[in-house]
Amino acid sequence: MLTASILLMWLAAVLSAMIDNIPFTAAMIPIILGMEAQGINVAPLWWALAAGVGMGGNGTHLGSTANVFIVTISEKLAKDSGNPDYAITPAVWFRKGTPVMLFTLVICTVIMTLFFDFFSTPV
């Protein structure tokens, strides 16, 4: 289950960086609920999903609705002020956000591994 949780966390992060994290989470809920209906303790999977989509949202401007909003606002500000330095383009976000996403995922993986017993306890 630890391996499945870590795999889900990383997969959720990568896919959330490619698409918005809310639709991805909505698509994963019935899958995890189906596993729970089969008697599997899915508590660590919920934690992994939450961490994965949260950290994955940092990877690209598409990873979160708020990111898309900020990119749009920054590009408008750059245009209105005449200062292109104010623009946070998708390329800039990718260059800065992907290393942050990977770093935080490594931290989440270590935390999940060290405290797996806590995360496995049903709420």
Give dist(CA 103, CA 13) in Å, integer: 12
Q: How many domains does the chain have?
A: 1
Q: How confident is the model at residue 24 (pLDDT cuts 50, 70, 90)?
A: very high
Domain containing residue 57: 2-120
User: What integer pLDDT is reported at residue 123 of this predicted model?
Assistant: 78
pTM for this model (two decimals): 0.89
Q: Is 16 exposed, middle or buried (0-12, 13-18, 19+ CB in 10 A)?
A: buried
Residue 27 has pLDDT above 90, yes or no: yes
Residue 10 has pLDDT above 90, yes or no: yes
Average pLDDT over residues 34-52: 97
Give dist(CA 52, CA 109) in Å, integer: 10
pLDDT digits 0-9 by tens, 78-122:
999 999 999 999 899 999 999 999 999 999 999 999 999 999 998
Average pLDDT over residues 18-30: 93
pLDDT digits 0-9 by tens, 61-81:
998 889 999 999 999 999 999
